[in-house]
Structure 1
Amino acid sequence: MKKDESMTSAGSGGIEISRRAFVKSSLAAGAVLGSGLSLSAFTPLKKASAQTGTQTGQWLPAACQGCTSWCAKQVYVIDGRAVKVRGNPHSKVNGGASCPRAHMALQQLYDPDRIKVPMKRTNPEKGRDQDPKFVPVSWDEALDMMADRIMELRKKGESHKYMLMRGRYTYMRDILYGSMTKLIGSPNNISHSAICAEGEKFGPYYTEGFWGYRQYDVENTRYILLWGADPLAANRQVSYYSKAWGTTLDQAKVAIVEPRLSATAAKADEWIPAKPGYDGALAVAMAHVILTEGLWYKDFVGDFKDGENRFIEGREVDEDLFAEKHSHGVVRWWNLALKDKTPQWAEKISGVEAAQIRRVAVEFAEAAPRAISWLGGGPVMQVRGGYASMACHALNGLVGACDNLGGTMVSNKEYTSGFPGYDQYLDDIAKKGTQHEKIDQRGRLEFPCLKKGKSGGGVITNRAADGIADEDPYEIKMAIAYMNNFNFSAPHGQRWDKALSKIPFLVHITTNASEFSWFADLVLPDTHHMFEKWGYLKSTGNGYRHVPLLQPIIDMPFDFKIDETEIPFLLGKKLAERGFDNLHRYHVEQFADPETGKSPEDEKQFSEYATKIATRDLWDPKRYKGGDKINGWEEFKKIGVWNSDPYPYRARWGKMKTETGKFEFYSQTLKTALENHAKKHDTNMDHVLEVCKYEARGELAFVPHHEEPYVHGDPEEYPLLFVDHKARLNREGRSANCSWYYELKDLDPGDVNYQDAAKFNPRDAAALGIEKGDKIKIISPVGEIECTTTLWEGVRPGCVAKCYGQGHWAYGSRAAEVFGKKPRGGNNNYILPADYDRLSGASAYYSTTRVKIVKL
């Protein structure tokens, strides 16, 4: 191809294609390219008002998915163009508050590197060194290709070799992720959850029976103890906490355990830079202090029958002498794991002085029950993180903070509903196909994944790469994935390059071409969540639960399709043309408009009707069940959010969803789960724990306790511990093509604008001969990355801290230095080994590897 006949198209994510072919296919797909060859994603603005010299617009409701806060927003729209974002004042969760990430959605929406039309691979060879040679195709052709592949698998009795991979989702997910996958006949719907926060959910579930994200009553608390959580930058409900934190600091003390000075640590009363991986040790030492000092919250836990405190260092206690109220096993926990775990013991292994441990524990307990032990990903997304998760959360039980004013809370009740059942549409092929083992190998002996107590109940996302690459338990022949980029976001992401290269037909639905897209056979242009799609979300905070509505509020400049609704509907029609009409009949027969009874005639009607069905109990006054009273669908669209009733404090006391109904310091719930998993594999629990890399044996396995961190790399060869962290501007790793991401990088303490900087304590830098601005390689046992250096006292000596988010080699013109070839900065996940907290299924990101430094 001659140089003047080719182009690096923003619509193809920077992949070289024929200019003539691009224009032709774009027009066929209904895309508007302005002057014909313009690559701008912007649509023309109308002329300003002659009277005012300005354009008039309106604030329209939306929702942000730049992180898992899922805030309700409003967007200022002028002539179909989004120009400004603010918090939705109708939300009782985040109110009018907004964090920086929400504003960056505008740059994502109008990113000229967005995928604009479907793109088809023409190079049959797959690999990072292989140019996919994408060419534009129409939606009709793309859907035909997908339908043909699905029918081929079904005809061969191989429907289980189809796979669906989910990244960022709305609660419309089950249409694509659930029912479509099952109706085709596959068990393989694989979510991203285990690379998100499953370890964080483990501790609360096996103590108080709640598998999910907690909310925290920061406006009424008197003490906050954070464990690897950074609510002002990268935790859940950043908007709300950023708004409320000033008041919180006026009335509460804040202490944070974190090996780096995070945004929250910078504003805390006390920063505790413990050695990575020793949060559990500090937590059990604090529990020891609370019990020996007699500071536990007796209205919740109970007391010794004669009122005499028998929790004395080194001594066992007779369980019969203690009368528990709403907890179970506190004395057994003491006898098994706490009696010898003094602050002096913890000091020796954690690097935190015993006096500080004791003082923090006493101050925390004296604030009871208005005290919060706030669990983040740092202590728990580790190889042995499950028990740290239990240990940190157990402090909430000791001080009676669970469901209490100023404490930690679960989710308020909400009234959305699932989608209509599809069992009647399952044919024999589908029923047989769904019985196969899942490709991520969950539930095997070494991968219990004990979500909600069930062996194999959870996902182990990153393990799917090994299942695909090794064809274990079988080969994957077709896969559809949406809004994910596992090559970039999962530890040792290079493994996904190998896995995806083996899939004969891979479809990626996304807004921007990415590392995952590089291996796809079809790349389909997705809608942006905040501005262009139907759906709804659910989130908690401030003592409420809200349900923000997503809806199309702008003029889409190109023919994007909604991943979870429009594409399944259109694909169902294509399959019906080929003789398999089950999916299409399900959509048409079961998704009638709740108001008119009309069946959907096209994908746009289907998307809106499905959203109305799922949220009907929120907006239909005839079906009102609680929370905000909304008078009809049109009013719901106008307001854009429904709010629950206020949180019912103490309602769960004595009614927790554990085996005992109580807060379990001795987890009968975990004991049953482990016993069932061991029985499933005809072995014993100690063997299960051994193959899963835990230290606990016997009864110790059922109580919160400290386990030595399992870290990859010989300390002699790899002298530094690597600390991965998230940033204020990281929209889940999708910010790297936004200019604001680089211009405002120093919003994160210690970071440097326009650089991907690894942060070293000056003491370590001097020993290594490193100066600020040096180009380096960071090398671990599994990979290496290149970046620059900066010196900062906010990193604990012996560690190197680096923010996740840069290192893309295929995302856009800003994200990569040379698209498809050379990354801009380094991706932390390329040096993190693929390991897991196997009880929860969570990928290990923290306290997982040692590294060494080489100057360039």
Structure 2
Amino acid sequence: MKNILESMFTRRRFLQTSGATGAAAFGAAGMAKLTGFSAVGAGGAAPSNAAAASNGSWKDLQMTKNICHQCPARCGINVYTYEDPSTGNRRVTSIYGDPGNPIANGKLCPKGHLGTYFLYDPDRFKQPMRRTNPNKGRDEDPGWEPISWDEAYDEIASRINELRENGEAHKIAHLYGRGWGPSDAGLYGDWGKLVGTPNAAIGHASICAEGSKHAKAAVEGNASYNSYDYKNTNYLLIFGAGFLEAFRPYNYLMQVWGHMRTKSPKTRVTTVDVRMNPTMAASDRYLMTKPGTDGALALAMAHVILTEGLWDREFVGDFDDGENRFSTGSTVDAERFEEVWTRGLVDWWNAELKDRTPEWAAGITGVDADDIRRTAVEFGSTRPAMAIFERGPTAHTNGVYNGMAIHALNALSGSMFAEGGLFYQMGPSYASGPADADDYRDGISRTMEGRYPRIDMAGTERWPFAGTMMQEVAKNHNAGDPYKLKMAMFYTTNPIWTAPDAPEWEKMMSEIFVVDTSPFPGETAKFADIVLPESTYLERLQDSPTYPFEGWPMTALRVPAVEPIYDTTEFGNMMIEIGKRIKGPTSDYYRQVDNVENLLKHLARGFEDDPGDNGVDGWEAWKEQGVWYKKPYHWKQHRGVFYEWDGEGYNIEMTEEEVREKLMPTESGKFEFDSSYLRAEVDYITQHLNVSRDRVGFPQWLDPEYTGGNRDLHFVTPKTPMTAEGRSGNIPQATALMQPSVGGNDRCYVEMHPQTARERGIKDGDRVRITADLGSIEAYVRLMPQNRPDTIILPYEHGHWAQGRWAEAQERATAPGNPNEMTENVSDPISGLAAYYTGRVDVERV
């Protein structure tokens, strides 16, 4: 590790880093000319407006509670504003982490200060707009004309009413990315029900991290992301989660990393990934695997844990005489093993694990067998210990089985619902909304219910396990299977750029009526017929129940720090106002909801009977504090016994039925090494994956199906710490810091091993062409000796052709093309997660 770090930080690298600082300062200075802020003020110190200072406007400094929008973490922020004496309007001068928010704890990550750049982005949409050019394409000018909100709402509602009356409500789709709570994406369920479309809404989880949720559903019944007790764990095994780059909640993870690495005993960290990233560089050990082979490594670790007798007997169980019968290559009599909170361990051993030695895994993963064995012994002999994973291992055709193998390590170590282990997130104590949508359904709504499948075919025989399949929408529309859409509305998602085989979306959007709600220009807006610009997060009112954090319930509130500086509004208000214009009782329902603030006030009534730990007991207190939360987590497993919180302690011992109902809702109520969830669709799995019927339920090794034929280089596009919810490409400050390990001050590099480059006559800094079956893009090379020779890395975020002046300038001059234009639309048959990391490519010097 010393050699790696020294080679990464040469004199040349030092100069590059200095250049990055200069580029960031230059970008901030450029922004200052547009916003009236100095580089320091934009980051969080002081307004540069001399008149403001001389008139004493700092005496009017105010602070507002809000929530950062740079990633899914949902950190609470304190936004400071002052009154501009020249206009009388308030301006944002600085953003800090909220000390009263349990995620932020008064801190922010490097992205946190970027809110001012979002707010004062000169390329923002400034009012609703209608397209006047009927032709759509990358090179077509939409010919925008400004319209009023009433005109925009009336036109959209008129089209919806016409489709409903013609029996075509199912041809209306809503697609969304980051949903925050009941006041925005949470409106979709009732909206789709009342309008009569199964396509409200289609979420982006299938192009994000859906694989981990399905892997967990398969073995312990929870189709959700985990919460983690990082503070108390003594061993952290990270599989492709990007812990110090892009895992959630990012800001908090950097804080807890310091705690884990300085407490006694220090938390030992092993990172498994396909490239040298900041997490791997900061770990005690790294295991660099071939893409898609994480499951093989996890299976070998499970083999060692069992043969060495290191499993947690109080959670898993033991042989009837206490003698360990797990021996490499030998089967075991299942009747001799008495399980406690697991089911099917011996069957799994006999069918899969007995032959999965470290030597076997070394041949698949490229990781040394001794390193696999040492890691397994460390993990199995440390308590508490946990294994975490995310998109890395699951963005392959074998993704769910990879995830099941990794998650099985948590059962073997007894970390499920234990101190220092992992569990699931509780929801906030919200009251009901202003009205019940079921009371306002009309004949069209009831007639359309269940009549048509979703356009993405999620939940049908084609994708029986999948809850959403956004990447299938354009393909299915273009094929007319199961039908063609006529209208689509997009919220916080841009699949024309982010989805695999992105050009399919250009074809679809050129044929239908498109509504985009982004505050900013982008590829979807380029094809839109109407733009309804949402306010930025510093200008809008919005709730945000926490993503999985520490398990106990929590919800934060965005309070506008400034009035919208342009003619924009909250997305939730857009949905409500369109709903008021739908013919029939639907309009009556949305008149009852009225607006976002009214909805949130109703939800906050739940806090009156269940005040938060910080005293939040209603709407006004929620606005003042910015967050409601209630500790502790209600359940705990200790030495194989489950307990429930009684108000003073974990004093209520739970029955097996209670554990099944509240914690592990599998068929058996236990952690299943033989998954009843998968066996329920045995025919589907045997048809779509190379698995025999008798083995369907076991965590097992399946070869990933790589795309690209005989091409020899794996192509991986990870997120980096400066990926700011899809907007980094248009923020020079973020771009300058995008790749801290290789430079990239003014461009994004494809990382390549020196040996791989030499074989192709490529030198550091050369421009190259990356070719897959779907097409080619170009990029510049940076040599990275710490990466695998068979894998090239191109960080996700670049290649925009319609995002704003900085992103487009980079694309024309130095940035690479969009990798998703050459990423094939292939998905894991079980989870439906797009297999982004399974492609193979050729690279040649241009």
What range describes the TM-score normalised by the shorter chain of this pair? 0.7 to 0.9
2:396 maps to 382
Q: Secondary structure at the match of 2:586?
A: helix
Check the 8 A contact 1:41/1:112 in 2, yes or no.
Answer: no
* Cα separation, partners in 2 of 1:258 and 1:165, compared to 1, 3 Å: same
Are positions 1:517 and 2:504 aligned together?
A: no
Q: Aligned equivalents of 2:91 and 2:584: distance in 1?
A: 39
Equivalence for 1:814 = 806
Distance 2:292 2:694 in 1: 23
2-structure distance, mates of 1:637, 1:341:
55
Structure 1 Cα separation of the partners of residues 834 and 787 of structure 2 = 24
Residue 207 of structure 2: which of 174, 195, 207 is its match? 195
Match of 2:261 in 1: 249
1:169 correspondence with 2:147: no
> Residues of 2 paired with 1:260 and 1:175: CA distance?
37
Q: CA deviation at 1:114?
A: 0.7
Q: Which residue of 2 aligns with 1:9?
A: none
Of residues 614, 634, 646, the one that matches 2:620 is: 634
2:240 maps to which residue? 228
Partner of 2:156: 146
Matched, 1:571 2:578: yes
* Cross-structure match for 1:594: none
Question: Which residue is equivalent to 1:616?
Answer: 605
Please give the alpha-carbon distance, in whole angstroms, between the structure 2 residues aligned to 1:642 and 1:244: 21
1:689 to 674, 685, 691: 685
Alignment of 1:197-596 (within 5 A): 197-250=209-262, 251-368=266-383, 370-417=384-431, 419=433, 420-435=435-450, 436-450=452-466, 458-503=467-512, 505-542=513-550, 544-564=552-572, 566-575=573-582, 580-589=583-592, 591=593
Corresponding residue pairs, total = 770
Q: Distance in 1 between matches of 2:586 and 2:49?
A: 41
Relative distance call for 1:803 and 1:98 in structure 2 (3 A) is: same
Post-superposition offset of 1:175 = 5.7
Once the two structures are superposed, residues 793-833 of structure 1 have per-residue CA deviations (whole angstroms, 9 ceiling, x without a partner) of 231111101100010000100011289x8994222212211
Instruction: Rate the CA distance shift 1:418–1:669 in 2: closer, same or farther, 3 A.
Output: farther
2:718 paired with 1:725: yes
Shift of the alpha carbon at 1:176? 4.2
- Report the CA distance between 1:174 and its aligned residue: 4.9
Partner of 1:31: none
> Cα distance, 1:387 vs. partner?
0.4
The partner residue of 1:179 within 190, 199, 204 is 190
Cα distance in 2 for partners of 1:371, 1:98 equals 28
Matched with 1:845 is: 836
Q: Which amino acid aligns with 1:344?
A: E
Q: How many Å separate the matches in 1 of 2:342 and 2:810?
A: 58
**Deviation of the 1:264 alpha carbon:** 0.8
Amino acid at match of 1:157: G
Do the aligned partners of residues 176 and 431 (structure 1) sit closer, same or farther apart at CA in structure 2, a change above 3 Å counting?
same
Report the alpha carbon displacement of residue 570 of structure 1 after superposing the two structures with TM: 2.1
* Equivalent in the alignment of 1:75: 79
Letter in 2 for 1:840: S
Report Cα offsets for 1:158-192 as digits up to 9, x if no partner: 11111111122221235642222222221112111
After superposition, the C-alpha distances for 1:180-213 in whole angstroms (9 at most, x for unaligned) are 2222221112111211111011121111222212
- Gaps (5+ residues) in structure 2? 1-32, 38-46, 84-89, 644-653
Give the ranges of 4+ consecutive aligned residues of structure 1 lying more than 6 Å apart after TM superposition.
38-46
Please name the residue that 1:668 is paired with.
Answer: 676
**Contact kept? 1:745, 1:754, Cα under 8 Å:** no
Q: How far apart are residue 854 of structure 1 and its match?
A: 2.4
CA contact (8 A) 2:612 2:629 kept: no
Match of 1:48 in 2: 52
Distance (whole Å) between structure 2 residues aligned to residue 519 and residue 530 of structure 1: 27
**TM-score, scaled to structure 1:** 0.86
- How far off its partner does 1:732 sit? 2.5
How do 1:702-713 and structure 2 match up within 5 A? 702-713=697-708
Q: Residue in 1 aligned with 2:5?
A: none
Which of residues 603, 615, 630 is equivalent to 1:644?
630
Matched, 1:755 2:769: no
Q: CA–CA distance in 2 between the matches of 1:211 and 1:271?
A: 29
Gaps of 5+ in 1: 1-37, 451-457, 592-599, 601-605, 675-684
* Matched letter for residue 826 of structure 2: D
How far off is 1:53 after superposition? 7.9
C-alpha distance 95-39 of structure 1, shift in aligned 2 (>3 A): closer
Taking structure 2 as the reference length, the TM-score comes to 0.87
What is the distance in 1 between the residues matched to 2:528 and 2:34?
23
Give the structure 2 partner of residue 108 of structure 1. Answer: 118
SS of the counterpart of 2:117? helix
**CA–CA distance in 2 between the matches of 1:183 and 1:413?**
25
| Residue 401 (structure 1) shift | 0.8
- Alpha-carbon deviation of 1:107? 0.9
Kept after mapping to 2: 8 A contact 1:402/1:409: yes
Aligned 8 A contact 2:774 2:824 in 1:
yes
Would the alpha carbon gap of residues 822 and 613 (structure 1) be closer, same or farther in structure 2, given more than 3 Å must change? Answer: farther
Percent identity of the aligned residues?
Answer: 36
How far did residue 572 of structure 1 move?
3.0
**Corresponding residue for residue 757 of structure 2:** 765
1:282-311 residue CA offsets vs partner (Å, 9 max, x unmatched): 000000000000000011001101001111
The secondary structure found in structure 2 opposite 1:809 is coil
Residue in structure 1 matched with residue 667 of structure 2 by the alignment? 659
**Could you tell me which residue of structure 2 aligns to residue 21 of structure 1?**
none
In the alignment, the residues of structure 2 paired with residue 160 and residue 113 of structure 1 have an alpha-carbon distance, to the nearest angstrom, of: 34
Between 534-543 and 659-668, report the one with greater CA deviation: 534-543
**Partner SS for 2:52:** coil
SS in 2 for 1:516: helix
Contact in 1 for aligned 2:129/2:146 (Cα 8 Å): yes
Counterpart secondary structure, 1:448: coil
C-alpha separation between the residues in 2 aligned to 1:513 and 1:649?
47
**Aligned mates of 1:531, 1:392 — CA distance in 2:** 42
1:826 aligns with 2:817: yes
Contact 2:748 2:780 in 1 (8 A): yes
| Cα-to-partner distance string for 1:473-509 (whole Å, 9 max, x where unaligned) | 1221122111210011111111111111121x11111
Distance 2:438 2:62 in 1: 44
Asked whether the equivalents of residues 686 and 696 of structure 2 are also in contact (C-alpha less than 8 Å), the reply is: no
Task: Indicate the residue corresponding to 2:87 in structure 1.
Answer: none
Q: Distance in 1 between matches of 2:174 and 2:427?
A: 30
1:778 pairs with 770, 783, 800, which one?
770
Give the partner amino acid of 1:521. D
Describe the SS at the equivalent of 1:649.
strand
**Post-superposition offset of 1:470:** 1.6
- Give, in angstroms, the shift of residue 758 of structure 1: 0.1
Deviations 1:32-69 (A, max 9, x none): xxxxxx98799997943558684542332111232221
Flag the 1:418–1:473 CA change in 2: closer, same or farther, 3 A. Answer: farther
1:682 alignment partner in structure 2: none
> Which letter does structure 2 place at the counterpart of 1:90?
G
Q: Is the alpha carbon distance of 1:831 and 1:371 closer, same or farther for their aligned partners in structure 2, counting shifts above 3 Å?
A: same
Letter in 2 for 1:132: P
